[in-house]
Structure 1
Amino acid sequence: MSLLRDYAAAISQPTLPLAGTGARFDEVVGPDGGLRSAWKGMAAVAVELTGIEIGRIDDEIATLLADDGATYGNPEQGTQPWQLDPMPLVLDAATWARLEVGLAQRAELLNALLADLYGEQRLLSEGIIPSAVVFGHSGYTRPIVRRRGHDPQPLILASTDLGRDAAGEWRVLTDRVQAPSGLGYAMENRRILSRVLPDLYEEAGLHRMEPYFSAVRSALLQAAPAEIADPRVVVLSPGTHSETAYDQAFIANILGFPLVQGEDLVVHDGWVWIKPAGFPQHAPHERVDVILRRVDAEWCDPLELRAGSRLGVAGLTEAVRRGRVRLVNGLGAGVLENPGLIPFMPAVCERLLGEQLRLPAVPTQWCGDDEGLAAVLASLDQRPATEARALIIREIDGRAADLSGLDPAELRARILAAPHRFVGQERLPLSQAPAWGSVGRTSGRAGPHPLVLRSFTVRDGAIYRPLVGGLATLVDDRAAAPSTKDVWVLKNAPTDPDQGIVEVAPVPLTRAVPVLSPRAVEDMFWSGRYTERAEDLVRLVITASAYAEQLDFSSSTQGGAAVRALIGVLQRLCGTRYGDPDLEQRSLLLDADRPGSAAHSLQRLRDALEGVRDQLSVDTWRAFGSTDRAMRALRSSRRTQIAESASRMLGGILSLQGVTANMIRDDGWHAIEAGRYLERALQVCTLLASTTTASHGIGVDRAVLGGVLMAAESSVTHRRRYRGVLRTADVLELLLLDTGNPRSVAFALDRLRFHLAALAASTGSTRPERLLEHLEDALEAVDLPALTVPVDGRRPRLDEFLAETRAQLHRLGDAIVHLHFAAGPEPQPLSSLSLIEVSGADA
């Protein structure tokens, strides 16, 4: 039986296990048990989808999301995979048309309300809104209040969470306008679902989302001060540990604007600039005109807002007051997320717009007036604390947390202590839709699940334009990451323009030269180092595993010595954890808590690249998907499959390196390559120091040298150069001095010199360049025959040379970081308060 028929049958028969939700509006099944009009046009394709087929699609979705690196940062459980249900939320054109009008009006109303609260404050003086509900909210930002000269259009982007009541009418749950998130996730959902359900997608005839992003890009560019002909826009992120870091990077990438963090910007001479390397010795020269902020207002400026914040920019508030930079949305927008405003919005709409409010909100009682307080207190006594009460009780600036589960006496005392800080809201039953989820994967059938629709609106010229679509979230407080649905809004006619946009008005622009902050360039430098580190370690494990599996070889004197020598290199890099070779090799590949392991390097690499996700193609995250799948396979594989799984890991790592081939040749690319070749030189010196500085006789030395060449990917080159004759001096020449061998130290230093010279701060005489010149001179002057002379079973001069070379390389790495990536001294707190770190803006 098809999934939809099965679902419809269950919904229409209350005795079946899937029912019990009769009070809810169902998004797929009508009261008569048939499909709603939005689904009828797709019925021919939709009803053919079986549980087995949807299960396969669900697995494909998970793979594609992993390949794209789509994640959500759970504050308690860390980064979690993004969740997308295979069954979309589908709305017909008539349903959307009514909703669209209400959303456009609401955005216009919120804009007018925001302008009044920070400008003339007519609503407060006339008593339409009580002052306590505004001034008692932490989102009201007093430093930007201006009676005159305030921004008349402070709201560029808005987001509203909606739910349907039992009658199917949409109601506002909350407005999210401070740093509205989710637009990038919505686009990612569409990209994935259009790939896994191509027939249904084509049959539906829905609005594409791409034109809307062109409108958003145009709106941000036009938000710049009028006198600026070629504005620069950046996306300000709290950092890679933010809950919605992926969404922020996706938006920056698709709009073509740099993703920056607070440390990347500086206020200088009253303007906001991208901070150059070596600031303040080097003056900034790339000014920022518009900031799409994803940092909550209180964290945006440690001078005037929250002392000690490391997420914002000192002096940003003053730059905003002067009109030197435009923040989207403004610093004070957070006050609009106050649920205490909801009861007053109908009156506000009539006063500011002269219209009746079209889109009602969930019924809300503000405890700051006597009637609302009495209603909320009465609800506390209706049911025991273990049962759901009639009202959801929230603090006006406490996000969406429901306090009604607290002990009634405790909650009553908290409310009476500060009534103006609490509201009570009716429990909206929320509409339901079929969701696959964990129940579907085990039972083979979809179950009804309540959902919330997040809409998005942008100021497009003189109007507010809602996104035709959105992001639907399944309500489940237990989920580590929200499970979502793509939102399909069907066209009224095939010829209707997507998003109702015939053509986005062009904005005159000159060609922009991308500029990277020192922090972003440093992330790329370390990504190059970690990539090379992971590759070299995996190659070592593959070589050691291959030698160990050759029983007739590893049990011999020469083979056993070679295996021990290779394991010695690994232990020098990562330390010793296990005596058992199988456990040791698995740990070297999989233990992310073990410094130097492949998993540790890959995790550090992922962290570094998250900070510059906007600079990278999606192929980067597909490569991570390959390594992740190889590591999962290795955890359950047999001992004889370690080398095979490690080889698949190596393939993913090599594809990561290949991604950089198509990058623009800017400071970021040169930093990646510089990091890669610096690390390669270090790794080769470590490999040689652990294997060639001791001499155990010709037979053992040959076996060890064979492993060294294999681990250094130079076996073929050696056979061609030296006809397969293994001698220590020849191997050293190939891996130290041969400028034609890409795996040699000499080659690495030559490429490092090229990439260092291309970085902006290089002059030809900087400390990194001098250190590099010294290294090259020392390498050129080396006497290989003298280095290979054994003394009492060791080669002391070789050991000393390699140790000194490694020390010089470490000094060179430190000098590169200091010169090219330092951007002034660390900011200091203005009070005795300790610096506070938070993970980011509202989800």
Structure 2
Amino acid sequence: MSASASELPSPLLDAYLSHPARSRTDELVDGDGPRRHAEGLAATIDAMGLAGLLAARAEAAGLVSDEGITYGAADSGVREPWLVDPLPLPLDASDWASLERGLTQRAVLLDAVLADLYSDRTLLRDRVLPPAAILAHPGFTRPADRIPAARRRQLVLTATDLAHDASGTWRVISDRTQAPAGAGYAMATRRIVSRVLAGLHRSSDLARLRGFFHAMTGALLDAAPGGSETPRVVLLSPGSASETSYDQGFLAAMLGFPLAEADDLVVSKGRVWLRAGDTLDPVDVILRRVDALLADPLEFRGNSEVGLPGMVETARRGAVTVVNPVGVGVLDNPALIAHLRPVAHALLGEDLLLDSPTTWWCGQEAELGHVLANLERLVVKPVARTGGPAVRYGWLLSAGERDDLARRIREEPWAWCGQEPIELSTAPVVTPTGLEPRRFVLRTFGVASGDDYEFLPGGLGRVAASTREHTVSSLAGTLAKDVWVPASAVEGSEPERVRPRLTLARESALPPRVAHTLMTIGRFAERAEGTARLVKVADDLAEDFSARPGSWGAAASARLVDAVARITRIERWYAESSLGYLTRVALDPRARGGVHHAARRLTSEAQEVRDLMSVDIWSVFSRLERTLASPPDEEDALQPLLADVLESLLAYAGIMAQSMVRDSSWAFLDAGSRLERARHTVSLLRHTMLEPAPGPTADLVADAVLRSGESIITHRRRAASGTGPATATESVRQLLVHDPANPRSVAHSLAALAADLRMVGDERLAGQADAILADVDALADAAPDDAAERLHQLAAALEGLGERIAARHFVRQATRRTAETWSTPRQVG
């Protein structure tokens, strides 16, 4: 039921109703007013006006940046921010309930197809499906034949892209079963929109999303092979270079399962194991986000660097369950869509509740002729989604391009499908000129739950990048929409169910890759902070004495700038001023050893272990990156910028210290920080305090070193009370080297490092840290003439300890092959 024209709530909706790009079916309005289930959204649009909506859009973009939500990975390694439109998209309760029934039937049907194609293949033998449409598809993987299913449903996870057509009927555009991505993005989008439209969100009784992830956790645990008392699940990721790395990390954190890469796993004795310190922990279920053709170099592409050799054979032996199983990619096949109606009758004895646009598979003579004769008006799809040509829209091709496409189809007719185009519905998007209608596609997510399937209420909405786009393609750029489903539309809506888990006898150690990444994070966080403090002090001296060459202060400033160059190893250009050089050390992201470079590495490394990081940390990283990416207008304006940098780094340190459990994860993170701080302090002393300086210069340098080491206040307090040396020069060695109570001292760092090593069970290296600490204590009684040699030895000892930690805990797998030779015969009939 629609509102009358006189009841239109705002000029924004009035203009939207008359927009020439609006489709015959629109998700917000119908006829002359808002749809009944969207009246609350229409009222919010009216109340906020364009200025309020644009503010909400800007706030959403800021929250995306703060939370580090990204999609894709450019060649430069810079990920693009996830784009969110602030307006949610409400669905009618009855519409969602009907859609959910159709999705359930489709998931059950696809699961039955999968089981048949890799067992008896009755669909092929009875010619319900043309054999060439299946056997020639790259998603049909013969090594997956007859792998036993741990539970009734082999298709544990499913995703489906749908759209409303011009009549308002849901149409299935494609199925995504290979490694369904996007549920994490849907949850992240909900979190953003619920904050920027908090009032509307609170007043709307919406189905919650978290229950879906609880269902997924239960489904993965239930998928474990029989006999496993404490199932262990890992999410196998291709790594942070994956375009959906955020989604993978978010999903791992939501489910509570570790994010693993191929190097973290090994196949031995017929099982998959997670490398955990000195031990191997058995793995029962692998949630696979690596494409099947890359998942096992022994069975598929031998040059894959992201697959686990032997994984398929362990699944064949029933020792591990892979979710979704390799071979499931055959379902992501437009040729299957063309024959799904008779398949539904053959397997379920039912009519399809959800249909697709009419599709013709070109592997059959009549269908080939139809597609070639109507090429200018059809959507032409390759049956293989990856590694081949993209979808073509016949009406957008030139005559020459259509001729070339026709030639390619004739050469390999089995590799192509033609599909009747549909007019996608539109949904409103906030723009500076008002609301614009954009084409809309919905991706739904399902998970097997016993014999049935549960679906994420609403799923993830995506809209086209502009009104000129008549399709929704990630390559062309899309915006995300939060899709709202009333709680009443979700059958059996009830409090979230938590599946009880048995307690493990011990907590697992970390895989070498993860341990190394955490220690690297600690190192670069400390390097960024230590360098920023040193540059800030050196810049302060340079500003004070740059106009007074030949003064004691100018000499002290020169020594500090020289120390910056020696510690960071960033070359100073000919005739470059001290202030210009220090600005470059702080802000040039290409300057290895500088502040910006260290901060960028810190963020990049944190992306590798997103599932272990506090959600609050990303806003700190975002603020840090914005600060460093905004150079001051003048060379003498570096001080406030560095103060902001240090504020962000201290916020990072505080969040990590207060949010991480004191386990092996914390131990490696803290160990990196402690070792780097000790190294930096020793290097600072070697390059500032050893060479004699005339007059007050020595005290000025010592004062600067204490300020850089955040110990100047302690020195002054002790000097005033008579409990410490009276001069800064004398305090440097005491406070920054020997004082066990000063968290900035070498002694304190080494003691903490030894405790970290004991926390990970490495008593031998902890003892070596203790031995270095004993040498530091002996340094207190060393003659001044011996200080240079002692500091040199201390630097070498710290370097050696770091190398031994790496050799002991961070060894990656040298070869990528299984520990035994498989001999199980495989025949595909």
Same fold? TM cut 0.5: yes
Aligned to 2:407: 413
For the residue of structure 2 that corresponds to 1:48, the secondary structure is: helix
For the residue of structure 1 that corresponds to 2:266, the secondary structure is: strand
Aligned to 2:535: 541
Residues of 2 paired with 1:718 and 1:373: CA distance? Answer: 86
Asked whether the 8 Å contact 1:119–1:150 carries over to 2, the reply is no
Asked whether the 8 Å contact 2:44–2:200 carries over to 1, the reply is yes
Aligned to 1:689: 686
Q: CA offset at residue 722 of structure 1? A: 3.2
Aligned to 2:718: 721
Q: CA offset at residue 800 of structure 1? A: 3.1
Out of 471, 494, 497, the position equivalent to 1:504 is 497
Residues of 2 paired with 1:311 and 1:585: CA distance? Answer: 41
Residues of 1 paired with 2:101 and 2:156: CA distance? Answer: 17
Unaligned ranges ≥5, structure 2: 1-5, 466-472, 820-829
Aligned to 2:822: none
Q: CA offset at residue 245 of structure 1? A: 0.6
Q: 1:363 and 2:352 equivalent?
A: no
Matches within 5 A, 1:287-326: 287-326=282-321
Out of 782, 797, 803, the position equivalent to 2:792 is 803
Q: CA offset at residue 308 of structure 1? A: 2.3
Matches within 5 A, 1:496-535: 500-501=493-494, 504=497, 506-510=499-503, 513-535=507-529
Mark the CA change 1:169 to 1:637 in structure 2 (over 3 Å): closer, same or farther: farther
Q: 1:648 and 2:644 equivalent?
A: yes
Mark the CA change 1:479 to 1:340 in structure 2 (over 3 Å): closer, same or farther: closer
Out of 347, 353, 356, the position equivalent to 1:352 is 347
Mark the CA change 1:75 to 1:127 in structure 2 (over 3 Å): closer, same or farther: farther
AA matched with 2:362: C
Aligned to 1:67: 66
Mark the CA change 1:322 to 1:501 in structure 2 (over 3 Å): closer, same or farther: farther
Mark the CA change 1:552 to 1:529 in structure 2 (over 3 Å): closer, same or farther: closer
AA matched with 2:195: R
Q: CA offset at residue 139 of structure 1? A: 1.2
Residues of 1 paired with 2:656 and 2:590: CA distance? Answer: 27
Residues of 2 paired with 1:7 and 1:432: CA distance? Answer: 16
AA matched with 2:234: V
Mark the CA change 1:457 to 1:68 in structure 2 (over 3 Å): closer, same or farther: same
Q: 1:8 and 2:13 equivalent?
A: yes
Mark the CA change 1:95 to 1:740 in structure 2 (over 3 Å): closer, same or farther: same
Q: CA offset at residue 770 of structure 1? A: 5.6
Q: 1:396 and 2:390 equivalent?
A: no
Aligned to 2:754: 753
Q: CA offset at residue 582 of structure 1? A: 4.3
For the residue of structure 1 that corresponds to 2:166, the secondary structure is: coil
Aligned to 2:221: 221
Matches within 5 A, 1:159-178: 159-178=159-178
Asked whether the 8 Å contact 1:523–1:608 carries over to 2, the reply is yes
Mark the CA change 1:390 to 1:705 in structure 2 (over 3 Å): closer, same or farther: same
Q: CA offset at residue 693 of structure 1? A: 1.9
Residues of 2 paired with 1:532 and 1:509: CA distance? Answer: 39
Mark the CA change 1:482 to 1:725 in structure 2 (over 3 Å): closer, same or farther: farther
AA matched with 1:390: L
Matches within 5 A, 1:175-324: 175-277=175-277, 282-284=278-280, 286-324=281-319
Q: CA offset at residue 601 of structure 1? A: 1.0
Residues of 2 paired with 1:215 and 1:718: CA distance? Answer: 58
Residues of 2 paired with 1:527 and 1:554: CA distance? Answer: 41
AA matched with 2:241: H
Out of 805, 813, 818, the position equivalent to 2:807 is 818
Aligned to 2:562: 568
Aligned to 1:602: 599
CA displacement 1:664-704 (0-9 Å, x = unmatched): 12111111111111000110011112211222213111111
Q: CA offset at residue 41 of structure 1? A: 4.2
CA displacement 1:239-284 (0-9 Å, x = unmatched): 111101111111110111111111111112111111133xxxx552
Asked whether the 8 Å contact 1:208–1:499 carries over to 2, the reply is no
Q: CA offset at residue 469 of structure 1? A: 1.0
Asked whether the 8 Å contact 1:211–1:498 carries over to 2, the reply is no
**Structure 1 range deviating more: 525-534 or 775-784:** 775-784
Q: CA offset at residue 819 of structure 1? A: 0.3
* Alignment RMSD (CA, Å): 2.6
Q: CA offset at residue 637 of structure 1? A: 4.4
Mark the CA change 1:150 to 1:210 in structure 2 (over 3 Å): closer, same or farther: closer
Mark the CA change 1:713 to 1:727 in structure 2 (over 3 Å): closer, same or farther: closer
Q: CA offset at residue 127 of structure 1? A: 0.5
Aligned to 1:840: none
Mark the CA change 1:460 to 1:565 in structure 2 (over 3 Å): closer, same or farther: same
CA displacement 1:140-175 (0-9 Å, x = unmatched): 111121298797421111000111211111111111
Q: 1:666 and 2:652 equivalent?
A: no
AA matched with 1:233: V
Residues of 2 paired with 1:779 and 1:706: CA distance? Answer: 22
For the residue of structure 2 that corresponds to 1:327, the secondary structure is: strand
For the residue of structure 2 that corresponds to 1:193, the secondary structure is: helix
Q: 1:614 and 2:614 equivalent?
A: no
Aligned to 2:620: 623
Asked whether the 8 Å contact 1:194–1:201 carries over to 2, the reply is yes
Q: 1:635 and 2:631 equivalent?
A: yes
Asked whether the 8 Å contact 1:72–1:481 carries over to 2, the reply is no
AA matched with 2:164: R
Q: CA offset at residue 2 of structure 1? A: 13
Asked whether the 8 Å contact 2:409–2:416 carries over to 1, the reply is yes
Aligned to 1:459: 448
Mark the CA change 1:44 to 1:147 in structure 2 (over 3 Å): closer, same or farther: closer
Q: Structure 1-normalised TM-score?
A: 0.89
Q: 1:428 and 2:422 equivalent?
A: yes
- How many percent of aligned residue pairs carry the same amino acid? 37
Residues of 1 paired with 2:151 and 2:739: CA distance? Answer: 65
For the residue of structure 1 that corresponds to 2:181, the secondary structure is: coil
Q: CA offset at residue 769 of structure 1? A: 4.1
AA matched with 2:570: G
Count of aligned pairs between the two proteins = 791
For the residue of structure 2 that corresponds to 1:635, the secondary structure is: coil
Residues of 2 paired with 1:217 and 1:148: CA distance? Answer: 21
Q: CA offset at residue 75 of structure 1? A: 4.7
Out of 336, 344, 350, the position equivalent to 1:341 is 336
Q: CA offset at residue 742 of structure 1? A: 1.2
Q: Structure 2-normalised TM-score?
A: 0.91
AA matched with 2:14: A
Q: CA offset at residue 478 of structure 1? A: 8.2
Aligned to 1:470: 459
CA displacement 1:307-328 (0-9 Å, x = unmatched): 1222121110111001111111
AA matched with 2:71: Y
For the residue of structure 2 that corresponds to 1:407, the secondary structure is: helix
Higher RCO (CA-CA < 8 Å; seq separation 6+):
1
Aligned to 1:486: 482
Aligned to 1:839: none
Residues of 1 paired with 2:552 and 2:307: CA distance? Answer: 60
Unaligned ranges ≥5, structure 1: 383-388, 790-796, 831-843
Q: CA offset at residue 829 of structure 1? A: 11
Residues of 2 paired with 1:698 and 1:60: CA distance? Answer: 56
